[in-house]
Structure formats: structure tokens, C-alpha cells
Structure 1
């Protein structure tokens, strides 16, 4: 048995070049009155085409050779070339407006323009002036010249044109992920935090957090678990942590976020940004959570928020937090604030936060007093 195979061949044609064309008629009245006119005298007309401007100059009595007069034409380029050169073809002939005579034989010249005021050489028409008078193209002491201008264009790549012409809307990826978190569509893991439950997506968490990657796709017990209990974390802090993982924003810190994101969480997220103290507490707890899950960007955001709100009551607590979670810039800012003046140092030493710092970070306390002595010296 013979097996036959059919092959389909696709034929496609892609234009790489294009030629655009424009035709103009130029009429010269009073031909007999041009007798004796200077050879450099011309009748001029502006010609706009394909985004460029040209000027056509018709010389009715050009002396070319042996004292014979010719009708000639010159084309002047008046624009800036969009590319390195504008390649054109100019065709000229005499025509009979009444249509009784066929157009004369065309004179065709290829011309390349590169800069403004570039011009073609003079193009002699078919016959000398004395022959023109007898040719039949002079009607009522006038004659008409037909000019055809062709411009050669190389077409840009189609993909490039599409990319330039399509207006891209602003990215709304964070809005879509926020909606995904809110709707719980496709969620495959539930977190239990301080008596509240939060549905999420393992793949998204793993993509954002190396800790989650190890938990859900490594050898840890959470790999096959659909429920994970989070201890030692407040529910509102975990909710803010999830929001950052999905949207890369922290509205609690007054970040500029889309109103749509805020609307999604209006009913589910408490207002932490109204009071400075509440923001500081959130930043402290969120910094610890960011460090716990390897979210370095969120960790820096929290450190920046805390650095901008250091005062006597928060300096020692923030210093302990910075040391515990390896935030050297925040740690330096706290030390600089505490030892700024003797009065500030004394005030910080009297706070509950300093007692916690002294108990949990004794080496930091030693460095603090070394820095204070160095400042006095």
C-alpha cells in the first residue's frame, strides 16, 4: 500500500519598499513675452508631497548650447530628510490640455536629495523653444508641463511599527494580584494566625519568599499541608505581609498606591496610618516578619519608616530591633539620635525600651556608650 503525503506550502509577500507618486501640471502663460528673457529667470511653484516640500522652477528660455533656447526645469528640495537620503524620480513632458495631442516623450531623471536646498540639474524638455512654437503644444500663447514625482521609501520592520504605534496602558499587575488575594480564587493553602484564617496561593508565596519556597517545595513538612499555623505574629501584621507579597505595596505607611488596591482592602484592613505611634508599631512588627520570610525590600521599607520616626520613646526599642534583624543603617541612625545630646541620652536611658535593650542586646549597649564617650571627646 502506498502512502501519500500532502505538504501545504504557505506563500506570503511582505513589502519592504514603497513608491509614492504625485502628478502636477504647470502652465506658463504669455510664452511669446518670454522672448529675450534672461537665462536664469524662472517661474517657481511650491510642491508639498509625502511630508516634504519641494520647489519647481521652470526656465522658459535657457541657453544651453549654440545659442539655442530650451525650456528646462529644476527641482529644489526644501525639507530635512527623515533618513540619510531621499531618493526620487522626476518625469517631465509637455501635454495638451485639450487632449488632442498625446503627451510628448517623457524626460526621466533619478535624483537623490540629502539636505535642504539640494537641487536637481536642469532637465531639458523634449524640444527647443523654436520647435515648441511649432509643436502644437502652445495653445493661446501658453504651454503646460506635466511633472510626475516619485519618492522611494524603505518600509520599517512591521513589529517595530506596531510597538511604536500601540499605546500601552499603565501596568495593573498589582491590582490583579490584589483581587486574586481578596477573592481567594484558586487558593491552595490556609494560614491560621492569632485565631484568624487567610487563604493564599503557594506558587505566589514561593515566588516572592525564599522561606515559602523551602516550606512548600522543599523537604519541610508544610510541603503537602493545606493548613499552616503561624505563631508569634499578630493577624493584622500577617495581613499586611500578605498584601505586600501580592502587590508590592504597604498602604499602612502612606505609600502612593492605586485607589483600587485601597478599595479592595477597605473592609478588611484596619487604618494603621492615622496615628504615628500605630505606624511605628506596625513597622516594627512588619520588619520582623519581613526578616522572617526573607522579604528584603519590605525589610528596607520598614527600616526607612522607623528611621524617620525615631524619638526618645522609640529609639531604644528600634535599636534592639535593628540589631536583632541586621539593619545596620537603621542601627546607626538610632545610635546617632541617642548620643546626640546628654539630655537625649539620659531620657532614653529612663525608658522601658532601654531596659529591654540592656537585657536582650548587652553588646549593643556597650557600643552605645563607647560611641557616647567618643562624641564627648
Structure 2
């Protein structure tokens, strides 16, 4: 018997006010692709023990990276490709238990060589994977290195543990949607206002903080390919209501996001929007591939950079690929008195070191007098970069063939 049928039976027995919840083991799954263009050239430049890595990607509330050593990570692995999954931010998000698979993709984008790990517990910031994933001499130019590009796919499933979810009375939710007002101000937007007055919403967005927002499925699908894919995977009730769960977004951000989706206009004057909402909107715009909104948020954040916020803003810009915002932050920090103020703050330097290593290295190189580069000197800079990303042979765990 479904929960809906159970509630209906109990209600028929005279119980009018009924709530319910379901406890089940929950998981979150995500995938990330790292492409190494010009692999032959990268391999020539990356000596044994030198890594290249993907940008951060989030799965199950945790941050991850793919780390690749084109010439092996240790002397024992020289002549091999070493691949690892890196768990970052353990101090912030806690331990993570994950199942993962790392694969090389062939020219048809199908996995052609894979390594799998079942339920490994990441209890510190470290990597787990294979130091001798594949011999370099076995990499085929047509199969593995089409157009001299190495493509690495990582599938991650994070165990979220046992969780209790409130059960929604589907019939009541359908009635609620029929009369739901728009979650944002539509005055003056005739087309969007007419839509709400003539069509009942058929999507209920469930936010991580427990709040709910109504929307129209066809509007969301038309505006964002990511939302279209999410809706295809979302559950639909017997009342034809799609329940879309959106974690990591609060109601203020969701309201502004929906206003943009329905009107194609940025939220009111951006200088009147709270900094945290603008940051959340930028994250949402990147997540749902709304480039116009992302540019608007990036421009607004460029005007908010100061000594108090620059470290966190630079980390945000690096994580979500915002070159203009990165440039503004770097320019701000290029003035010695600004950099000094940030470095003197309680957590400014730590934020720079842990949140945006490549930008920090660029600043250090720019502000430190250095001799003319030699081959050995370039090796030193590479080693410094590897140190800043906080990954060392002493702390990583690994499988060996």
C-alpha cells in the first residue's frame, strides 16, 4: 500500500489531521569529466610527481576533484598514469562515505578502462585511487587519445545515511497549487501575470530549508536544460504534480531565480539585493546554465569587493569560472596596502590559501622578486603550486596494482 493510499484509508476511518514521514537510506550521485587537451605536451611538462586536477565539483554536500598525474605520482609509478578522487573541505563538511568509479573515455565517449571503489570513507582531506592506473605505453592514440585529448570520467555516489522525509498529502498539495500565487512580484509584467491567472502551476519546488514554491513545468524546461533534465528525473504524483527537490538554495534566492526565469529580467536593482543573495544567485545561474543571470550577478559582485569580502569572493569566482570577477579581485589584491590588510585579518590568508590556490600563487609570483626562470626554477614553482593545493604523498591513501 502506498503512503497516499494509507492516509486515505486512515482519513476514511475518521482521522482528519494526519501527517506522515518515511525513513530510508539516501544517496546522492554525480559525475564529472576532466579533459586534458594536448596530453602529449602536458606529459612533457609534468614531471613524475606533478599533478593536474579538475575544478571542484559537488556531490552529496561535499566537494571533490579528479587528480591526474600524467607521469605517475611516485618513482614506483613512473611510466604509469595515476588517477585519484580527492575529497576537499573535510573540516567544513565532515567525513564522507562514497562509492566511485574512474574511467578513461574512448573516442565514442564510452568508458574503455575503469577502476571502481566500493564505500570508501574519506575522513581527512586526501585522495583515493590508483597510482598505476594504466601504463603510458598502453595509451592508444586513436582509442584513448583522440586528437591528443585524454578524457577522464568520475562517477561518485555519496552515502547520505538514514533520513526521514515528510510525506506530502498529494491531493492537498494539488489543491494548494491551483490557487498558489506567484512567489515573486509580477506587477507590470503582463505576460507572466496572465500565465499565473490562466494556468495552474504543476511543479512544487521543495527547498532545503523546508519552504515550497510553485512553478510551471513548461516554463522551467524552456528556460534551462538543466532544469529540464532534473524535472525528467523528479517524481510525479497521481495528481500530475511534479515534486522538484532543490537542496542548497534558500527561499530568497529561489524567488529571485524564478523571477528571472519568468521575466528574463534581473532582480530589481542589484545594489538593493543582499550580498548573500547575489552570491546564491550566481551559484544558481551557473548550476542551471543561465548565462545572462550569471553575468548580471558577476557584475554586481565586482562592485562589492572590499578587504572583508575579497578572499571569499575570489574563491567563489574561481569555483564558478567567473574571469571578470577574478580579475577584479586580483587587481584589488595587487595593491600592497589591500593585500596587507587581507593577510593581517584573522582568516583572510587561510581563505586565500585553501579557497583559491592558483590566484594566490599568481599573486605571490607577481609580488616576489624572482630570478630569470630556469628549468629547475620552473620545477620549484610547480612544486609550490602542488603544495598550495594541499596534497602530499604523506597524507594520501591509494590502491596499488
Question: What's the TM-score once normalised by structure 1's chain length?
Answer: 0.43
Return the index of the structure with the highest Cα Rg.
1
